[in-house]
Amino acid sequence: MTGSIAPLTEAEVQRLRSDFPILQSEVNGHPLAYLDSGATSQRPFAVLDAEREFASTMNSAVHRGAHTLAAEATELFEDARATVARFVGASDDEIVWTSNATEAINLVAYSISNASLGRGGAAAERVRLRAGDEIVTTEMEHHANLIPWQELAARTGATLKVVPLDDDGALRLDVAAELITERTRIVAFTHVSNVLGVINPVDRLVVLARAVGALVLLDACQSAPHLPLDVKALDVDFAVLSGHKMLGPTGIGALYGRRELLEAMPPFLTGGSMITTVTTTEAEYLPPPQRFEAGTQRVSQAIALAAAVDYLSEVGMDRIAAHEAAFGARLVEGLSAIEGVRVLGAGIDLPRVGLASFDVAGIHSHDVGQYLDDLGIAVRVGHHCAQPLHRRLGITSSTRASTYLYTTDAEIDAVIAGAAGAIDFFRRGA
């Protein structure tokens, strides 16, 4: 996918790094090597300034006031929606603001639950679940793309099925073909594993879902920041993303939904700003996306996310993908060469982003992470909100290094050397 695209040069990366004030920091007397962007990315001045500028000069409620500040705020807010829509290949009215991707998935699940209780009338039949219907997800999902479906199954009487993994951690697509049946109504899966870093074959899963008329929800949290994303080309019905993983602030995410499906879905949250007419006994709702945006919105955060999207687009998502693919390969190769280190998913023959999780025999991931932190290297430790995946691979936790457009060759070298150093340190002390 990225073979013909030139990755970012070291000089370009150094220029980009100057845009990120936190990357000039030191931790424990060492220059900060930030390799935890898979959890939360850092923010450039353009994003910090966009939120500060709005708060300083235009702060006001959107879609509510008739005064000048309110009109300016509303225009910027909707411009931000259009920017994010273009970034993922959607129409403006197919993007719903949420607090994060977790809320976006819950929005879909609870809206379907409300439809299944009879809300939404005949129009909601397309998304309604009944006892005996099926929801299919996978064993590699982040908990945010598993627990909402567990809850939806419990509320509706639907059956939740889970596509298993092979011994390397790859999805068993042969089993998926058996699990996705005429009774399957929803297929929900991640585009990129937040533990393995592999890019899943969306096309093959979509074909299986389309063959039985099932809806498809794509967790794009680990793909939208790192790969070119076109939800129409992928032919998914829903996709979710989180701003804080793609240079944006916390507290902002987005749901993409096909227009005709959003129009059929009853709201999840209700209250002000999502209605047309209200009496003491009933209400009529606005069309989407406003139907799903009750209450005061995340205005400055949405504007800052649009600034992040503009920044990413200017750098070029193809080049970011190529930059990180090279780092992903280096992490797998370098960490796998260390005796006693097992890189999760190293044997999977799929393209990957710049992320690798590893287990060190006899050393807890928290101890590895603490050793790296003492060297100024920030990584993630634990189960990464993916307990079923870790359980399938026979471990309880791992250490994860995740890169981004501002990651350098020296930082990759540092985390590989640091993992080897951790082994020497703890084995000497044993």
Positions marked catalytic: 385
* Non-local CB neighbours of 201 within 8 Å, separated by 6+ positions: 173, 350
Tokens 């411009």, residue located: 79
In the DSSP assignment, the letter for residue 131 is: T
Quickly list H helices, 137-278.
147-156, 173-179, 202-211, 231-234, 259-264
The residues facing 159 across adjacent strands are 134
Phi, psi of 184 (to 5 degrees): -75, 125
Cα angle 196, 325, 366 (rounded to 5 degrees) comes to 40
Could you tell me the sign of the dihedral formed by the alpha carbons of 169, 333, 378, 305, in that order? negative
Kindly tell me the burial class for residue 82, based on how many C-beta atoms sit within 10 Å of its own C-beta (0-12, 13-18, 19 or more): middle
Q: How many CB atoms lie within 10 A of CB 174?
A: 9
Q: Kindly write down the DSSP assignment for every residue of 324-367, as one continuous string.
A: HHHHHHHHHHHHHTSTTEEETTTT--S-B-SEEEEEETTB-HHH
Backbone CA torsion sign across 330, 17, 322, 345: positive
Beta bridge partners of 215: 186
Task: Give the span between the Cα atoms of 360 and 368, in whole angstroms.
Answer: 8
CA distance 125 to 94: 20
How many angstroms separate the CA atoms of 401 and 413, rounded? 12
Buried b / exposed e along 41-78 (16+ C-beta atoms within 10 A)? bbbbeebbebbeebeeebebbbbeeeeeebebbbebbe
